[in-house]
Structure 1
Amino acid sequence: MSPGGRPATTPPDAWAQAALDEVEAAGVKALSVEAVARRLGVSKGGAYHHFRDRRDLLRAALALWERRQVTELNAQFAAVADPRERLHVALVEAFVALEPTVIVQFMAASDDPDVAAALERSTAARLALLRRTFRQLGATRAQAEHRAILAYGHYLGFAQLRRHAPDLLATPARLRAHLAQLERSLLEGL
């Protein structure tokens, strides 16, 4: 209960985060208002204070993911003035800080139009940041494009590996060695 004696409502971002957690665990197709309510420990009726239906909840979850994992992270990376350091910080975030990510589940559900649109926007934003970074490091447009695709493609593949082969780079030493090799490869000749 709220201090005023009215039933407390779960805020929309809490529902959206719980929906992301549910997608991470079970996939987009398994997302339901009931499952998210169970995860939150509340009745499903509370969702309808904020969302029309499951589709609306999914859209809110996608918007939250984009805001946190794309817009805010890209702004954080862009604030790093030195492009070499920016690349390093972005790689550490993508390959060390993040656990298996919901993006793997989103890629598996790319036939959903809302998921596909979010993935398209996130891919464009992430590639643009990487292109700018490589251009600032002295790469030609073509080199910057190639290296941006390599870096982002590696991130997507690595997210998949972390989810489906978690022991592959499980030790911090192996992960650091892999990251160092990737960074050397991306910077070669710049």
Structure 2
Amino acid sequence: MQSVANISILAMFVMYLLTALFGYLTFFGAVESELLHTYNQVDPLDVMILCVRLAVLVAVTLTVPVVLFPIRRALLQIFFPEKPFSWYIHCGIAFCLIFLVNLLVIFVPSIRDIFGLIGATSAPSLIFILPGIFYIRIVPEDQEPFMSRPKIQAACFAAVGFIFMIMSLSFIIIDWVTGESRSGGGH
């Protein structure tokens, strides 16, 4: 499985690199946040455009299994930790995840919005929330009581991360509702 993952990640990297390279070489500074939208403005029968679309298609196809595997495994461990392997659950989780991803692809107008969501959730989690929670969880209760100063500070640190995450997600949703993220925003 490790060699399959390594080959798939390398192939994805090459495909995304080729897509970015051809997009830049075609449009230079006029590339939009969604590369395929930029290609819609030129002749659709151009061979270079077809190559880029094929590269994006292959990259997305190779991305799904690599991303789906760890997400499905994490969901199985969270919701069915003691249950033996079941093809119904395995395929059901995969189907739900692919369905959710397709809904996002259909309804989210730009990749910039997806990067905003990922940044708004992962950055506070990695910087504030997870370190605080890990500290509280890892340090034993007999060594340091829960109401000690360091554990209270760690809990406050995690709470600040949740506040930042909620604020960031709120601003992104407000931009979506008002339509500012599609018009350039004026920031």
Give TM class, smaller chain: 0.3 to 0.5
- TM-score (norm. length: structure 1): 0.32
TM (norm. structure 2) is 0.32
